[in-house]
């Protein structure tokens, strides 16, 4: 069983930065494709960024050039560096791991004030 725990959310002014972290336990972390999703109030959960076991990445168009996903397999962690934040980035951010099935963290709230 894989357990994912997010941290790093908080309140930040527009234009600021935050770094989200996700710590994994259980499973062979290096084999998992990892991703960050977000869900804003009244909206569906959406993919923000993903990083595959081999290291390739992809991003939602809305965050390209502003967010960077990375992973540290030795520490079993995945990160999301968020720069140039805008109010539209306000959401609960969820860490996701996938290998034959999905695993989810409980989320961390990011609030960007204008």
C-alpha dihedral sign at 57, 59, 64, 69: negative
Residue in 47, 52, 59, 51 with CA at minimum distance from that of residue 91: 47
pLDDT for residue 26: 86
Tokens 């076991």, residue?
53
Tokens 């959406």, residue?
46
DSSP state letters, 44-72: --EEEEEE-TTS-EEE-TTTTTTEEEEEE
pLDDT for residue 52: 97
Give per-10-residue mean pLDDT for the chain (114 aa): 95 98 92 97 97 96 98 97 98 95 96 97
pLDDT for residue 41: 92
């Amino acid at each position: 069983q894989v357990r994912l725990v997010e941290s790093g959310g908080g309140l930040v002014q527009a234009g600021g930065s935050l770094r989200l972290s996700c710590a994994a336990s259980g499973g062979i972390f290096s084999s998992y494709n990892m991703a960050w999703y977000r869900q804003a109030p009244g909206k569906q959960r959406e993919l923000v960024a993903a990083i595959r076991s081999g290291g390739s990445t992809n991003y939602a168009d809305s965050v390209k050039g502003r967010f960077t996903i990375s992973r540290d397999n030795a520490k079993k962690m995945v990160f999301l560096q968020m720069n140039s934040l805008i109010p539209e980035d306000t959401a609960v951010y969820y860490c996701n791991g996938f290998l034959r099935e999905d695993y989810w963290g409980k989320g961390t709230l990011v609030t960007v004030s204008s």
